[in-house]
Amino acid sequence: MALRAIAALFAALFLAAAPASAEVVLNRGNAGGDPFSLDPHNTQGTWENFIVGDMLEGLVTEAADGSLIPGAAESWTVSPDGLTWTFKMRQGAVWSDGTPVTSDDFVYSWRRLMDPNTAAQYASILYVIKNAEDVNGGKLPVDQLGVAAPDPSTLVVTLVHPAPYFDGIVAHQATFPVPKQQIEKFGNDWIKAGNYVSNGPFTLVEWRAQEYVRLAKNPTYHDAANVKVDIVNWIPINDFAAGVKRYKTGEIDIYDAYPNSQKKVLTAELGDQVTAAPYLGVSYITFNQRQEVFKDVRVRQALSLAIDRQIITDRIFQLGEPVACSIVPPETANYEKGANSPDCQMASQAERNAKAKALLAEAGYGPGNPLTFRFYTTQDLDSKKAAATMQSMWRAVGVNAEIVANEPATHYNQHLQAANFDVATAAWIGDYNDPETFLFMFESNNKGFNYGAWSNPEYDELMRQERLEPDATKRAAIMRQAEQILLDNYGVAPTRFRFNPYLVKPYLKGWIGNIRGVNRSRWMSIEGR
């Protein structure tokens, strides 16, 4: 521990002293921790998107308020049937090594994403493209992917069904371009400092694991004249309380977390620097249905019923977040509200607990044979408190849960993704503003994000139908029907709709809270620090 403290002290001194006085330096606390990778095809978390999105720019990108604007493409058109999207590349755009950014870069990058040898967890986000699923499954060669570059300035994408949200998909980190010239030269080492080539506002200077990822302004970026920050230090901070301390001492200028239970105290001390913005996100409980015990819907329902969600939101997280009775957040576009967990239709927690005990008894569990499992969660203080509270709630209905807490990267990569869990907390932040970004996770063929391996043929069929339905109102109704099946069968148990907590220094300008939770450093400036 002493060595870690000394290392943290030297890192803090280095962050403060390294840049020249004339440089504008932005220090950003990153609550997700250290990135697993800086290769967009090997990332999955929002904390990785924040960093990679400062360096690489997709066809579409985000404005300061999170809305979609042209990125590497300066414009695009959609055919009347919605199946062909044609993107015109930004003229004069170059990589940070001076190489032109062309449509061929996206053809190469998307083929690489879908290549089964890449094993990209987010490959399924492009299954909307013609032949994508078969390419990713190894049934077709990568050159059969429905994307073409008839000339360096034009990218033509053919879809398998209309997708009015496709502009949101191509703003996602998985669809960012990667530099073919560097990958062919360095292989997997292309992501190292000195090898990394960017087409976005910043480029990689240094990556010190568990200390910081340092970026520098990219002078070749098409909008470099309007980028007001010279250096961005992305600092991984898993301990929210430690992050608050570093914020107060001025080591970081913005932090996307704080212990929620401290919101009132922090607000009294810091005023408007403390904020919480509605988020396109949901937290839920997932059950590993590869295990016989959790294949029983009665067990899943009992565990869901025993959770008093109002206590979790009011007493633990304390941000005013709504209890989640569905998996799709209410702010989502193209959404027909109305899907509702059976839990939320019961009048009281006492009634829910009685039903939970009866279901467990039917499934063969009781005082002489209590249901026992390991409950996985993340190690931040609020998540551990929530897990302990749920542990107590389950104990009240005769269930024993052992808590296992890890940092987010370990929780998702080594447990959820690896199916190495019994019951676990999970959260999903919408990749684009449409219900499908939440519902696609629970399709039988989603190997990357259907953590619990829930499977329902009727659900799968409805999801197939909504993709073929051109009428927006009918499509929304189909998705609502699918969502109700998910809830009725306790494929997962939603708990709360997310708010995004932030600490923002008053001298930091250009930050705007938004439901996407995306705030690119490109738009920020420091005035009067």
> What's the confidence (pLDDT) of residue 278?
86
User: Are 92 and 216 members of one domain?
Assistant: yes
What is the per-residue DSSP string for 95-131? -TTSPBP-HHHHHHHHHHHH-TTT--TTGGGGTTBTT
- Of residues 413 and 456, more confidence is placed in 456
pLDDT > 90 fraction of the chain, expressed in percent and rounded: 84
- 6 domain-assigned: yes
For residue 165, what is the domain's CATH number?
A: 3.40.190.10
Assign 380 a pLDDT band (cuts: 50, 70, 90). confident
Burial class of residue 64 in the structure, from the number of CB atoms within 10 Å of its CB (0-12 exposed, 13-18 middle, 19+ buried): middle
User: Are 18 and 167 members of one domain?
Assistant: yes
> What's the confidence (pLDDT) of residue 21?
53
pTM (2 decimals)?
0.81
> What's the confidence (pLDDT) of residue 7?
40
User: Are 192 and 303 members of one domain?
Assistant: no
Least confident of 89-98, 125-134, 385-394, 405-414: 405-414
Enclosing domain of residue 130: 2-249+505-526
Tally of domains in the chain: 2
Q: Is it the case that residue 18 has pLDDT exceeding 50?
A: no
What mean pLDDT is predicted for residues 81-100? Answer: 97
Q: Beta strands 371-378 and 399-406: pairing type?
A: parallel
CA atoms in the 13 A half-sphere facing the CB of 317: 23
User: Are 226 and 316 members of one domain?
Assistant: no
User: Are 487 and 509 members of one domain?
Assistant: no
For residue 416, what is the domain's CATH number?
A: 3.10.105.10
Q: How far apart are CA 480 and CA 474, in angstroms?
A: 10
- 213 domain-assigned: yes
Assign 6 a pLDDT band (cuts: 50, 70, 90). very low
Burial class of residue 466 in the structure, from the number of CB atoms within 10 Å of its CB (0-12 exposed, 13-18 middle, 19+ buried): buried
Q: What is the CA radius of gyration of the chain?
A: 23
User: Are 154 and 182 members of one domain?
Assistant: yes
What mean pLDDT is predicted for residues 8-19? Answer: 44
- 19 domain-assigned: yes
What mean pLDDT is predicted for residues 285-296? Answer: 98
**To the nearest whole number, what is the mean pLDDT of the chain?**
93
What mean pLDDT is predicted for residues 457-479? Answer: 94
236 three-class SS = strand
Q: Is it the case that residue 122 has pLDDT exceeding 70?
A: yes
Assign 1 a pLDDT band (cuts: 50, 70, 90). very low
- 346 domain-assigned: yes
Name the range with the highest mean pLDDT among 161-165, 201-205, 341-345: 201-205
Assign 470 a pLDDT band (cuts: 50, 70, 90). confident
Burial class of residue 496 in the structure, from the number of CB atoms within 10 Å of its CB (0-12 exposed, 13-18 middle, 19+ buried): buried
466 three-class SS = helix
Provide the angle, in degrees to the nearest 10, between the axes of the packed helices 457-468 and 472-488: 170
pLDDT > 70 fraction of the chain, expressed in percent and rounded: 96
User: Are 283 and 219 members of one domain?
Assistant: no
What's 334's DSSP letter? T
Assign 15 a pLDDT band (cuts: 50, 70, 90). low
User: Are 284 and 392 members of one domain?
Assistant: yes
pLDDT for 217-233, tens place per residue?
A: 999 999 999 999 999 99
- 362 domain-assigned: yes
Name the range with the highest mean pLDDT among 258-262, 368-372, 513-517: 368-372
Assign 381 a pLDDT band (cuts: 50, 70, 90). confident
- 274 domain-assigned: no
Q: Is it the case that residue 65 has pLDDT exceeding 80?
A: yes
Which residues make beta-bridge pairs with 281?
Answer: 429
User: Are 298 and 207 members of one domain?
Assistant: no
Q: Is it the case that residue 32 has pLDDT exceeding 70?
A: yes
User: Are 376 and 511 members of one domain?
Assistant: no
Q: How far apart are CA 333 and CA 435, in angstroms?
A: 7
Q: Is it the case that residue 317 has pLDDT exceeding 70?
A: yes
What mean pLDDT is predicted for residues 336-352? Answer: 93
- 262 domain-assigned: no
Q: Is it the case that residue 248 has pLDDT exceeding 90?
A: yes
What mean pLDDT is predicted for residues 361-374? Answer: 97
Q: Is it the case that residue 9 has pLDDT exceeding 50?
A: no
What mean pLDDT is predicted for residues 313-325? Answer: 92
Assign 14 a pLDDT band (cuts: 50, 70, 90). very low
Q: How far apart are CA 362 and CA 450, in angstroms?
A: 27
> What's the confidence (pLDDT) of residue 44?
80
Assign 463 a pLDDT band (cuts: 50, 70, 90). very high
Q: How far apart are CA 346 and CA 130, in angstroms?
A: 44
User: Are 356 and 493 members of one domain?
Assistant: yes
Assign 5 a pLDDT band (cuts: 50, 70, 90). very low
> What's the confidence (pLDDT) of residue 67?
94
What mean pLDDT is predicted for residues 324-337? Answer: 93
User: Are 73 and 172 members of one domain?
Assistant: yes
Assign 284 a pLDDT band (cuts: 50, 70, 90). very high
- 254 domain-assigned: no
Element of type H or E holding 88 = strand 84-89
Q: Is it the case that residue 19 has pLDDT exceeding 60?
A: no
> What's the confidence (pLDDT) of residue 529?
82
